Chain A
């Protein structure tokens, strides 16, 4: 493959020579020139007539956005999303937010500006630039100073440029060639090696995340304190002489609040005459509504119409607005909640007696809403 000329390069030994040369080339008609030095040489930028770096503005913009971002995040979380009273401070406690605002400002400004410089200004990474791997690069990286004029310059004429460079008194002048093929290199996505690598990466990430999320978190002590030195229900214990972990109540005692319900199996005779101890007022209705919506509405629907939200995974119950139910006493409804009915389970373990009565009241209110009486209109 033919090689194309990239540039003509001149190499200088002394720093004074390169500053002079840089000044001359900047004053000449060539625009695509560059100077290479092993370390930053002071004053070279002015000689080369480079515009002041604009990185400062980028840092400013990024810094201000960092500050705004931090303040917005703290404002959103502490004032809108989850307001909390911490030591009586206002939810938007500006003085206490300053440290974090400052840190985020610095973080965003410095990281962002560096990334902008490397990847936008310099277009790095770029290891395929024609200068790489040349003798020229070898020298300017160590102890020489180089100046190049690129072939893409509109004024470029190999002979004239050579003459011009010669007039600067360099140590050597050398042409630098490149292979256009190298620059046209395109990554082959479907190359078998790349696909293999991709496969390995996928399997590894999937495997590691699986292990981390499913296995790692289960090993004590990382299992969220599931395992503790305590007695589980129905387990044995060597502590007690009978070997059982669970204890039976002391004979003749009833545990607090555990008042036995004695009318199971007697809905129509005894339960019927139970008296509702809860008043029909706003407080109890509100509570009743809460409990009803939590415990009953999934099957009976929010208004007791039997429109279950369980998508037929459980048989739909009958409406609570039937004539039968409207004629039931409060005690009978209470009875169904307490012991259940056919496939409807008992709610005795979830609801305290008073809560059950509150629900009964709420059901009454629902029924009344669908069958309003004449006098209700007056209110």
Chain B
């Protein structure tokens, strides 16, 4: 197998003109969706509907509809919150961190991954909002002058979370929008439909492809990437502080921040890879979202998966090495206690299966990588479940120990969150360019000036 490593592989395979790129990417928005689209939308909408029903039940009757009990005050709600926030992290990693590292293969997948970030964060934010019990008073989470003369507790990790998640959402949204502006402008020029033209004109803000604008635009992209990079690391760090700053055995460890960030990227990449496999097939974008790109994502999955595996091991080592009996008990209980089944699902899914990606054939096999992606996400969901529930169910007071059982409403909400996420994704594929038109044009072979010794004196 001869691979030439001296040459950087082209990001886009095949010979495409600029016009072809515009055509391919705009096609989903210009054609009427077919039957399969509506079937997919129908399935995700029905899942979403189940979720809405369960949210309404929670809204009217309160969180008593959930399986949360004493001492397991955090059940599915916080598990799902951490899971979805984690899914979001892949998008920012692709759009910001890989941008700073000049990984050009990110161009084909950045837009989609960012969109997934935004949908995942919206999804995640719902959980703590309902978890507080009276979601209509959710604005109490923000510091504002009020007639109770009270302020929020700025020293609480839960409040840091409020700031981190809302900042993350806003910054991701504008990052995404900034990337969309030139594409809205190309669509505005393309479309023959009057209503669409008005909509695209509004969102393109009158972008006119001037290089004087591109000049600042590239700068802001760099600045935003520079800010989003520490931001995304901070978000899951702060999410992990929700646990690590408390004193519950099994939570109170300093390894949590890096471990959570690695886990987030791990599950996020698996999710992005899964969805992209469908997108590139359905919209004939195999040459834009290439198999090389997918392979690179699988490499990141194996890296982060191994980091997560290392963290699992290190937690046990530290529990033993610390000589702290409650800590040791917490970990023995995790592996061999009531929730051992969840623990071992997590370990097999997260540590064992991704290791198959060491084999190049598997890294490049669509079906196998899809299955491994699904397995990783199952594993990562269980990781959060294990962390949240096993530690709480065996707190310091043995008389209050209890087993957490989710109710139907809990399961309905989990199902609904997937429905919500996929509904948004399905709608997104038909309304906005799923790949950045301008960025992909910029990485075509003919796109950049050939430097005939001009670069130095230019």
Contacts and interface: CB of A to CB of B under 8 A. Distances in A.
A143 B204 CA distance: 18
Interface stretch (A40-48, A166-174, A300-308): A40-48
A15 B448 contact: yes
Contacts of A41: 211, 214, 442, 447-449
Interface string B218-260: 1110011001101100100010010000000000000000000
Interface in B183-235: 185-186, 188-190, 201-202, 204-220, 223-224, 227-228, 230-231, 234
A39 B442 contact: yes
A56 B447 CA distance: 27
B450 interface: yes
A221 B208 contact: no
A43 B458 contact: yes
B167 A103 contact: yes
A348 interface: no
Interface residues of B, number: 73
Nearest to A122: B213
Given A93-B155, A103-B164, A137-B189, A38 B438 contact: yes
Interface in A191-225: 216-217, 221-222
Contacts of A236: none
A226 to B, nearest CB: 13
Given A41-B449, A106-B231, A221 B62 contact: yes
Contacts of A100: 154, 159-160, 163
B92 to A, nearest CB: 12
Contacts of B447: 15, 39, 41
Interface in B2-24: 17-19, 22
B52 interface: no
B18 A38 contact: yes
A23 B441 CA distance: 22
A142 B23 CA distance: 10
Contacts of B160: 99-100, 103
Contact of B214 (A37, A107, A118): A37
A211 B447 CA distance: 57
Given A35-B211, A222-B136, A99 B439 contact: no
B442 A137 contact: no
Interface in A1-50: 14-16, 19, 22-23, 34-48, 50
B134 interface: yes
A239 interface: no
A7 B115 CA distance: 39
Contact of B185 (A102, A107, A141, A143): A141
B123 to A, nearest CB: 20
Nearest to B438: A39
Interface in A127-144: 127-129, 131-132, 137-138, 140-143
Given A38-B441, A86-B155, A48 B211 contact: yes
B186 A42 contact: no
A48 B216 CA distance: 14
Given A39-B182, A56-B223, A109-B223, 6 more contacts: A38-B441, A40-B211, A41-B442, A41-B448, A106-B227, A141-B189
